[in-house]
Amino acid sequence: MSILRLSKATLLASVFSLPLSFAAVAANLLILSPERVSDQNVDFVLPAVSGPNGKLELDLGMVTDPDNATFRAAGSVSLPVGDMFGIQADAAIGSVGGDWAMGGALHAFTRDPSSYLLGVTAGIVVAEGAWLAAIGPEAELYLDRLSLEGWAGWAALEYEDPMLTDESGIFIIGDLAWYPTDDWRLSVGGASILGRQSLRFATEYQFAEFGLPFSGTGELRAYDTGAYSAKIGIKGYFGAPDKSLIDRHRQDDPHNRVLDLFAGAGSLLYALAEGEPPPECLDNEVAVPDGLGGWNCEIEE
């Protein structure tokens, strides 16, 4: 077994052990609020979802070339199911260089806002010429001002063009987030979807001083193809009472996972409608989008 395959196997085993590890840690944690330990003064467990709530998101940016503009609009609605469980529905639409995609996702989870979230999430993205679907466990662990967040499982990509090879396999999406203040989040993370990797740095700041539930967002992402993207945007929250950003993230709605699929698998979807036609590869090779509007010939496994 090659070092690369051994590394991937080790990473995969680690990700799938996260939900079990989170549950074990959560079972030993004291019942505390998402605030810093020094600020906590509660003796009860908060519900998985504080109440019906949601968010709307909008961002603009570019991929590699300033002329290759991006646009994304998304929304999520979360509902409590008793005190221990919650569900969330996501929807999003996006464009890269004039090529459009849309998608949806559904989360079902249990959560203790003081310590962890455990659930299952399924999502799909449809673009011109292809669709990508993913399903798997989702987990979050809350450690004072740090959050560990992950979604992993099985993904399938299908092309309309019979000359292109459909794919299926493992996907992994993870983030490590830190809240310097209650209203400011910084995160670093990565995604591996059907063997395509990307790394990202993101931030969100809630403008609590204006008395309105909205925030500004930013993201930088680098792909293993050499492509990169940059985005800035705004996000508005509704349905929940005024609260800090860290409380919104841990008491209300999880990530909109459609946006994660958009960003993490952009090179698989958006290089289809524009750019060079697929090259003629050798019999044991397949044409794979390179994320820059072109193609690479890779040996078929």
| E strand segments, the chain | 53-63, 65-81, 85-96, 99-112, 116-127, 130-143, 146-159, 167-181, 184-193, 196-206, 214-223, 228-238, 285-289, 295-299
* Single-letter amino acid code for the residue at 107: H
Nearest CA to 22 out of 127, 125, 130, 151 is that of 151
Q: Is the pLDDT of residue 139 over 60?
A: yes
Question: Reduced to 3 states, what is the DSSP secondary structure of residue 11?
Answer: helix
Least confident of 108-117, 147-156, 171-180, 279-288: 279-288
Q: Taking the mean position of all CA atoms in its chain, how far away is CA 181?
A: 22
What is the average per-residue pLDDT within 287-296? 59
* Single-letter amino acid code for the residue at 251: Q
Q: For the chain, what percent of residues have pLDDT higher than 70?
A: 74
The CA distance from 220 to 171, in Å, is 20
Q: What is the CATH number of domain 3-269?
A: 2.40.160.40
Nearest CA to 266 out of 296, 293, 239 is that of 293
Q: Taking the mean position of all CA atoms in its chain, how far away is CA 107?
A: 12
Q: Is 53 exposed, middle or buried (0-12, 13-18, 19+ CB in 10 A)?
A: buried
* Single-letter amino acid code for the residue at 185: R
Dihedral angle computed from the Cα positions of residues 255, 85, 183 and 220, in that order, rounded to the nearest 10 degrees: -10
Residue spans per domain, the chain: 3-269
What is the average per-residue pLDDT within 122-136? 91
Q: What is the pLDDT of residue 290?
A: 57
What pLDDT band is residue 204 in, cutting at 50, 70 and 90?
A: very high
The CA distance from 49 to 252, in Å, is 5
Least confident of 8-22, 62-76, 104-118, 209-223: 8-22
Q: Is the pLDDT of residue 241 over 50?
A: yes
Q: Are 138 and 121 in contact (CB under 8 A)?
A: yes
The model's pLDDT over 40-96, given as tens digits with 9 standing for 90+, comes to 444 567 999 999 999 999 999 988 766 678 899 999 999 999 999 999 999 999 887
Q: What is the pLDDT of residue 277?
A: 46
The model's pLDDT over 5-50, given as tens digits with 9 standing for 90+, comes to 333 333 334 433 444 343 333 334 333 444 443 354 445 679 999 9
* Single-letter amino acid code for the residue at 79: L
What is the average per-residue pLDDT within 147-154? 97
Mean pLDDT for the chain overall = 80
Buried b (16+ CB within 10 A) or exposed e, 152-167: bbebbbebeeeebeeb
Q: What is the pLDDT of residue 247?
A: 95
- DSSP letters of 223-278? ETTS-EEEEEEEEEEESSPS--HHHHHHHS----HHHHHHHHTHHHHTTTTSSSPP
The CA distance from 30 to 148, in Å, is 18
125, β-bridge pairs: 103, 132
